[in-house]
Amino acid sequence: MPVIEESFTVKAPVQRVWDFLMDLQAMGSCVPGCEAVNTIDEDTFEVTLKAKLGFITAKPTLRITVYEKKPPYHLKSSARGKDSDRASTFDLKNSLDLKSLSEGETEVGFRSEINIVGKLAKFGFAIFKEKFKQQNKEFTARLKSRLENGSTGSA
Amino acid sequence: MTELKVVGEKLPRVDAREKVMGKAVYVDDVQLPGVLRGKILHSPYPHAGIAWIDTSPAERLPGVRAVITAKDVPDARHGACYLDQPMLAREKVRYVGDYVAAVAADDEETALEACNLIEVEYEELPTLFDPVEAMASEAPLIHEHLAEYGLLQPLARCVENSNIHNHFQLRKGDVEKALGEADIVVENRFSAPMIQNGYLEPFGVVADIDGQGNLTCWVSTQGIRWMQRSLQDLTGIDRNKIRIIVPYVGGGFGGKGDISAAAICTVLAMKAGRPVKIVFTREEIFLSGNNRVPVITHLKDGVKKDGSLLAREVKVIMDSGAYSGMTSMIVTNAGFGGSGPYDIPNVKIDSYGVYTNNVPGSAFRGFGTPEIEWAIESQMDIIAEKLGMDRIAIRLKNIYRNGAISATGEKLQSVGLEETIMKATQAAEFNQPPLPPAGGKGMASAHKYSMAPGAACAYVEVKIDGSLELRQAVVELGQGSNTVLAQMVAEEFKVPLEKITVALNDTATTPFDLMTGSSRATYNMGNAVRLACEDARRQVRERGAEILEADPDDLIVENGMVYVKGVPEKSIPFRKLFVHGGYPLLIGSGIFNQKSKTVDLETGQSERPCAFWMYSTQCAEVEVDEETGQVRVVGFTAAHDVGKAINPDLVVGQIVGGVVQGQGIALMEKVEMENGRILNSNFLDYKMGTVHETPGHIIPIIVEEAHQEGPYGAKGIGEGVLAPTAAALSNAIYDAVGVRIHDLPLTPEKIYFALKKR
Amino acid sequence: MEYARPATVEEACSLLALHGEGARVIAGGVALSILLKQRLVEPDILVDIEGIHSLRYISDDANELRIGALCKHREFEKNPLVRDKFPWLSRAAERIGCVQVRNAGTVGGSLCHADPASDLAPPLIAAGAEATLRNSQGERKVLLENFFIDYYQTSLSEDEILTEIRLPRLSARTGVSYEKYAMREGDMATIGAAALVTLDDDKQRCIEAGIVLGAVGPTPIRVKEAEEALRGRAVNESSLRKAAAAAMEASSPLSDSSGSEQYKREMVGVMTRRAVSRALQAAS
């Protein structure tokens, strides 16, 4: 299964980065193709994503459950859901680690194990992985711009 | 023996015309009124508990007629050896693809949509994908109740509280001592990956239950009676109410016949009250667990300076995946010949069948032998090089010949191995230098057993018009069995082949046959057919004797006539046997039951572990592109000892087909799996050899070292063809560029990186 | 799913404009039928343009070769004009799938499907081909090099179809070659490498170069650094090595059942060298 690992630094203190990431609407606005975020309870929420890869459009709704949380440094979550046509299942295990490099600088590291089952899995994992990488780059860029330009939602 | 007229002739296949015209009927051609389409929901997880299943959203979908899960079927399991596989996963799933639920609907689209609507809550369990890890004592158990499972094969022995479902051992002489006395000891590890059988016709089944509760099941399978028995066990329908019809089968190679799917189809038909058809997609064929089991082979050989093999220690690990399928049997049967076709005084073999959470592997043309021979024949070349010995010479020094005592203690007969070596190497001009700059030649020899015990039965009916109908249950998979068996009937009655019809395979009319596998049809069913013919001829003579007022023993049956020996002008046609004989029923029956001798479970010793052995030698010539690692097969020579070729054209067809298949297997085939999930379950991503990769020329050579107990001396051919192919190619690549690959397939990438290291 | 079979480009374009995202164009169906079968693509309407016979031609106008989008690969491969004046293109077409695939598949369909492993895109890009795109409003031209955007994505808008490929007549002393690496003949390219080389009057130096890779990135990749390694220089072992190294550097192959990333990158080097060497031979 594809594993995505990414780390980057943001010019913002660790607490602010953490708070931003915990603000679902703010965070959601950084996720490419994020169409809706709904909070179910404190540690559970649902997101609907839309991703296009050439001729394929996937629109999965994922239920994300946070099962390990050590603010403001560490978070583990799992995400599961089906594509809108129900023929593909997504299953992700995510971990997020923040490291304070200095007062105004934080290293953000995240890792996702992505498991796709069903129809979309036929398409070839290699290309999916490539697409995830692209999306992650975009996410990183948006996140940095939001945090470093100070225009965050709640912080 | 009298002169043969039909046997040994190159006659066209009896099914050629209808196949060429597209009229031959396969399972998917069976059309019943009101038939529903069935679809199976597969597990997305390699190992997970099933917490709950909610089928109600699927049931609510218009057009859905039945939805079933494990709770709708008896708590029973099937298997070839261990009864370890439920038709639908019960408490847990064991591989990605395990059958979880099934739907019957008005059409395939609706059935598929309904499958997607079924909600299943899984709880993931620890997984095992490496068979060596799975063998470890602390490994989590994939089958917790292995020791309690029913066992159909007395030769299999599991290791309790482990994932090892069979451990076969063979002991001859003292290997430890002999290794100490050897001049050189050569140790290597080889592997052969999971591959797909790759037959053209997808597996299909149609189940129909009549008003009296009788099941009729049209199914593409190689094991009719096994299917019948398993359907009884799985569905609870009495065996006498189960009728299995097997029309033409479009290839099987050991992997045709998904018992779970046939049982699912039956239960769906029961629940829906309408006939149901399931035809697999190519992806589903990969998931159905009838792929070739991956094999790891360790060899440790002690050799004297003169090239004689003193000792061979063999350890074989077969990763059967989630269920044992036929792998337990493969472990034992391949174990019998696991030291290769060589006369070695000290042999130690340990072969293991191991559960993992991979997609199951099972039988494929050769039943373990090609995978082990791949290792052995690579090793033979390695030894020859270490000793500075000629590659032909080292084989001739050690091979089995008539009268040799095999590793299991069998006194061998019908050993045509030396002749295959001589003829193949001559035809291949093996001693001529290969083409420069990067050409190479390689050879490999092999043996392949055919299983025993096993029974085969046949009926031959004499008809009023002088024709004969053969009723038997070897499945015509394309191998040509209908033609070969019809030729035998024609020979026995001295009539032209056109006079013979071979009945459709149908348990209502065709008698028992163990299975279509292990290259056993010609020998076993051939013997049954000859016995049936003998019985029918006796009846013809007895009836003719009454009309001709002669002694039955003085009568000759020939060309649709009966006459007194020496007085052919006073002959009567078969018609008269009926018209003047009170319309008798002239049906001869034949039962051939090949026995084996007891196998000692501690030492694997048996004076007759199998029916017969086939021997072969193949030579390959290749060219390697040193910049890319790509291999082009320039020429191929294949000599095969078949005892007696009943139809030489069909033997040649088997040899050429096998070489083409074997070459694809050697060079490119591999089911790619990642954490138990198949990544290339289609023919775009799963590479098989095509006509473009077929060698420039293939020279087939038939060697006939008659078997005393075979019909007309015949043995078999089907599986033997694949046994030496991979090693012959690998040895040729080594000869060309000095690169030795230990893990199949011999991909350009492996060769390229090995060349860089050279 | 609806199905329409327009007879004219105008009719096709208006159908596309009407249905937008829900419409899919089908021509030979080689790629799309697999996606439909696997239900990876589930359009509302299938617009079958195979009946637009006006898009099936190969002609040689003054300075360019014009290929109608609905030309079958097989026609393209066998066409005397192409074989005679653009033999390299005919040879590239020969490497597509098998005869059955080449009899079904169209040049335009293959390009619009935008599989990065397409055999035609690299040599056409190297030779400076241009694509004509049309919608109800009119037509526009785009260099084929700029036509591909991402995996299976082109610059076609929803209401446009590709109608023609135009290939400029090559200048004198120009050679083009397409080299393909695949495990089996007839497979999609694992590596595709096209090279164009134009030599100066005394055939000593390369004055123009084009290097385009296929199957090793989201789109065909034009390797400018490799071209620079050749342009203005004598083509010798050193410049070949530099071009090959640049191509390897520019490629981003993915590990899959055809080979690892590392092996594929090595093969990019080998195929680039071979393509440049053959192009050079053809130019001399």
In chain A, where the domains are located: 3-148
> What's domain A3-148's superfamily in CATH?
START domain (3.30.530.20)
Instruction: State the distance between the two ends of chain C, measured CA to CA, in whole angstroms.
Output: 54
Q: Percent of chain B beyond pLDDT 90? A: 94
Contacts of A120 in chain C (CB under 8 A): 40
Q: What is the Rg, in whole angstroms, of the alpha carbon atoms belonging to chain B?
A: 27
Q: Tell me the angle at which helices C237-250 and C261-283 cross, rounded to the nearest 10 degrees.
A: 140
Contacts of C42 in chain A (CB under 8 A): 85
What whole-number distance in Å separates Cα of residue B29 and Cα of residue B32? 10
* Site from C33, C40, C111 to mutate, A interface, most A CB atoms within 10 angstroms: C40
b (16+ CB within 10 A) / e for A26-60: bbbebbebbeebeeeeeeebebbbebebbbbbbeb
Q: Tell me if A122 and B116 make a contact (CB, 8 A cut-off).
A: no
Average pLDDT rounded to a whole number, residues B51-75: 98
Give the side-chain half-sphere CA count within 13 A for A57.
Answer: 10
Tell me how close the Cα of A122 comes to any Cα of chain C, in angstroms: 8
* Stretch(es) of chain B classified as CATH 3.90.1170.50: 32-126+200-251+256-287
* Site from B116, B286, B678 to mutate, A interface, most A CB atoms within 10 angstroms: B116
Tokens 């296009």 sit on residue: A52
What whole-number distance in Å separates Cα of residue B496 and Cα of residue B468? 11
Q: Tell me if C267 and B684 make a contact (CB, 8 A cut-off).
A: no
Report chain A residues touching chain B, CB-CB < 8 A.
1, 85-87, 89, 91, 117-118, 121-122, 124-125
Domain with residues B32-126+200-251+256-287, CATH architecture: Alpha-Beta Complex (3.90)
pLDDT at B1: 53
User: Which of A19-28, B188-197, B706-715 has the weakest average pLDDT?
Assistant: A19-28
* Stretch(es) of chain B classified as CATH 3.30.365.10: 16-24+454-594, 291-452+598-757
- Cβ distance B227 to B265 under 8 Å? no
What whole-number distance in Å separates Cα of residue C211 and Cα of residue B257? 51
b (16+ CB within 10 A) / e for B222-252: bbbbbbbbbbbbbbebeeeebbbbbbbbbbb
Instruction: Render pLDDT for B549-564 as a digit per residue (tens, 0 to 9).
Output: 999 999 999 999 999 9
Q: What is the mean pLDDT of chain C?
A: 95
Q: Tell me if C183 and B752 make a contact (CB, 8 A cut-off).
A: no
A95: Cβ contacts below 8 Å, ≥ 6 apart:
A74, A75, A76, A77, A110, A111
pLDDT at A115: 79
pLDDT at A122: 63
Q: Tell me the angle at which helices B725-737 and B748-757 cross, rounded to the nearest 10 degrees.
A: 40
pTM: 0.94
* Site from C99, C113, C184, C187 to mutate, B interface, most B CB atoms within 10 angstroms: C184
pLDDT at A54: 77
Contacts of B677 in chain A (CB under 8 A): 1, 117, 121
Q: Tell me if A56 and C41 make a contact (CB, 8 A cut-off).
A: yes
Tell me how close the Cα of A111 comes to any Cα of chain C, in angstroms: 20
Of B689, B693, B752, nearest to C266 by CB-CB distance is B752
Cis peptide before B552 (omega within 30 of 0): no
What whole-number distance in Å separates Cα of residue B599 and Cα of residue C16? 73
Counted across chains A and C, CB pairs separated by less than 8 A come out at: 38
- Cβ distance C166 to C248 under 8 Å? no
Contacts of C152 in chain A (CB under 8 A): 53-56
**Given a cut of 50, is residue B64 above it in pLDDT?**
yes
Contacts of B684 in chain C (CB under 8 A): 34, 188
Contacts of A32 in chain C (CB under 8 A): none
Nearest Cα residue in chain C from B664: C184
CB neighbours (10 Å) of residue B714? 25
Give the pLDDT band of residue B197 (cuts 50, 70, 90). very high
Q: Which residue has the higher pLDDT, B241 or C36?
A: B241
Of B117, B283, B677, nearest to A86 by CB-CB distance is B117
Nearest Cα residue in chain B from A83: B116
Instruction: Render pLDDT for A98-116 as a digit per residue (tens, 0 to 9).
Output: 999 999 899 999 898 887 7
Instruction: Render pLDDT for B592-638 as a digit per residue (tens, 0 to 9).
Output: 999 999 999 999 999 999 999 999 999 999 999 999 999 999 999 99
Instruction: Render pLDDT for C163-216 as a digit per residue (tens, 0 to 9).
Output: 999 999 999 999 999 999 999 988 999 999 999 999 999 999 999 999 999 999
Q: Tell me if A129 and C256 make a contact (CB, 8 A cut-off).
A: no
Give the pLDDT band of residue B694 (cuts 50, 70, 90). confident
User: Which of A129-133, B200-204, C100-104, C251-255 has the weakest average pLDDT?
Assistant: A129-133
Average pLDDT rounded to a whole number, residues B731-752: 98
Q: Tell me if C185 and B680 make a contact (CB, 8 A cut-off).
A: no
Average pLDDT rounded to a whole number, residues C70-81: 94
Average pLDDT rounded to a whole number, residues B173-198: 98
Q: Percent of chain B beyond pLDDT 70? A: 100
- Cβ distance B640 to B651 under 8 Å? yes
Q: Tell me if A122 and C38 make a contact (CB, 8 A cut-off).
A: yes
Side chain identity at C163, as an amino acid letter?
A: T
Side chain identity at B419, as an amino acid letter?
A: E
What whole-number distance in Å separates Cα of residue A81 and Cα of residue B112? 19
Average pLDDT rounded to a whole number, residues B296-322: 98
- Cβ distance B531 to B592 under 8 Å? yes
Q: Tell me if A54 and C35 make a contact (CB, 8 A cut-off).
A: no
Q: What is the mean pLDDT of chain B?
A: 96
What whole-number distance in Å separates Cα of residue C144 and Cα of residue C138? 19
| CATH, range B16-24+454-594 | 3.30.365.10
Q: Percent of chain A beyond pLDDT 70? A: 92
Three-state SS at B369:
helix
Average pLDDT rounded to a whole number, residues B20-33: 96
What whole-number distance in Å separates Cα of residue B332 and Cα of residue C83? 60
Give the pLDDT band of residue B306 (cuts 50, 70, 90). very high
Q: Tell me if B693 and C184 make a contact (CB, 8 A cut-off).
A: yes
A22: Cβ contacts below 8 Å, ≥ 6 apart:
A71
B126: Cβ contacts below 8 Å, ≥ 6 apart:
B47, B140
Q: Tell me if B116 and A125 make a contact (CB, 8 A cut-off).
A: no
Q: B308 burial class (0-12, 13-18, 19+ CB within 10 angstroms)?
A: middle
Report chain C residues touching chain A, CB-CB < 8 A.
24, 35, 38-42, 114, 150-153, 218, 254-256
Contacts of C153 in chain A (CB under 8 A): 54
Tell me how close the Cα of C258 comes to any Cα of chain B, in angstroms: 8
Q: Tell me if B116 and A87 make a contact (CB, 8 A cut-off).
A: yes
Average pLDDT rounded to a whole number, residues B349-354: 98
Helix (H) / strand (E) element for A38: namely: strand A34-41
pLDDT at A125: 63
Instruction: Render pLDDT for B511-527 as a digit per residue (tens, 0 to 9).
Output: 999 999 999 999 999 99
**Given a cut of 90, is residue B278 above it in pLDDT?**
yes
For residue C115, CA distances in Å to B433, C258, C261 come to 44, 16, 18
Instruction: Render pLDDT for B381-411 as a digit per residue (tens, 0 to 9).
Output: 999 999 999 999 999 999 999 999 999 999 9
* Site from A1, A4, A55, A132 to mutate, C interface, most C CB atoms within 10 angstroms: A55
**Given a cut of 60, is residue A151 above it in pLDDT?**
no
What whole-number distance in Å separates Cα of residue C189 and Cα of residue C123? 13
What whole-number distance in Å separates Cα of residue C249 and Cα of residue C251? 6
Contacts of A119 in chain C (CB under 8 A): 38-40
B61: Cβ contacts below 8 Å, ≥ 6 apart:
B105, B110, B113, B114, B117
- Cβ distance B205 to B265 under 8 Å? yes
**Given a cut of 80, is residue A150 above it in pLDDT?**
no
Q: B89 burial class (0-12, 13-18, 19+ CB within 10 angstroms)?
A: buried
Of B44, B117, B682, nearest to A118 by CB-CB distance is B44
Side chain identity at B163, as an amino acid letter?
A: N
Q: Tell me if B689 and C184 make a contact (CB, 8 A cut-off).
A: yes
pLDDT at B684: 85
Q: Tell me if C263 and B668 make a contact (CB, 8 A cut-off).
A: no
As a three-state string, the secondary structure of B574-613 is HHHHHHCCCCCCCEEEEEEEECCCCCCCCCCCCCCCEEEE
pLDDT at B250: 97
| Domains, chain C, with CATH or none | 2-168 (3.30.465.10), 174-182+189-283 (3.30.390.50)
- Cβ distance B562 to B552 under 8 Å? no
Three-state SS at C145:
helix
**Given a cut of 50, is residue A154 above it in pLDDT?**
no
The CATH number of domain B291-452+598-757 is 3.30.365.10: yes
Chains in touch with A (≥3 Cβ pairs < 8 A):
B, C
Average pLDDT rounded to a whole number, residues B102-115: 96
Average pLDDT rounded to a whole number, residues B335-353: 97
